[in-house]
Amino acid sequence: MVLKSLLVATAMAASLAIPAAAQESERPVYLIASLTVPDFETYMGEYGMPVFPMLLGAGGEVLVGTPTVEVLEGQYASNWTVVVRFPSEAAAQGWYNSPEYQALIPVRQRLTDVSRSTLLLAPQFVFPTAQ
C-alpha cells in the first residue's frame, strides 16, 4: 500500500512538472536579504522608501519584510529579513544592476553592518523530472 501511494504521488508530481530546461528563462527567483540594521528609522527613510518602488517597477513582489523571525534551529543574528519574488532571474539582475539601484547600494551598506548582512538570489524550486 505504501509503495502504491508513493508511485501514485510520484506519477502525479511528474505529470504536473514542466521540464526544468523549459522553465529556466521564466522561473521565478527570490531575493533573500538578511541584514543587521542599527537604525531602522534612518534605514527606512534613506534606503527602504526609495528601493520599494524600484522593486515593484522590476516586477518584484515583497513577500517578507520583518525585524522578527522565529529561529527554529541554529543562530540568526540579523534583525531585518526580506524576501522578494521576481518573475525571472533577468528581472532580478536587471533591478540589481540598474544605475538607480547601483546608486543605492552604498546607502544600504552605510546603514547596515555589512559584515553581518547577506543578499542572495535563489531560484524557485523545480521538481526534478525523470528523463
Per-residue confidence (pLDDT) for residue 17, from 0 to 100? 40
Residue 75's pLDDT is 93
pLDDT at 112: 97
In this prediction the pTM is 0.78
Per-residue confidence (pLDDT) for residue 129, from 0 to 100: 82
Q: Are strands 118-123 and 29-35 parallel, antiparallel or unpaired?
A: antiparallel
With a cut of 50, say whether residue 2 has pLDDT above it.
no
Q: Where are the domains of the chain?
A: 27-123
Q: What percent of the chain has pLDDT over 70?
A: 80
Q: What pLDDT is recorded for position 26?
A: 83
Predicted confidence band of residue 25 (pLDDT cuts 50, 70, 90): low
The residue that leads in pLDDT, 12 or 72, is 72
Residue 88: band (very low, low, confident or very high) from pLDDT cuts 50, 70, 90 = very high
Cα 79 to its chain centre, rounded Å, is 17
Write down the CATH number for the domain with range 27-123. 3.30.70.100
pLDDT at residue 114, as a whole number: 95
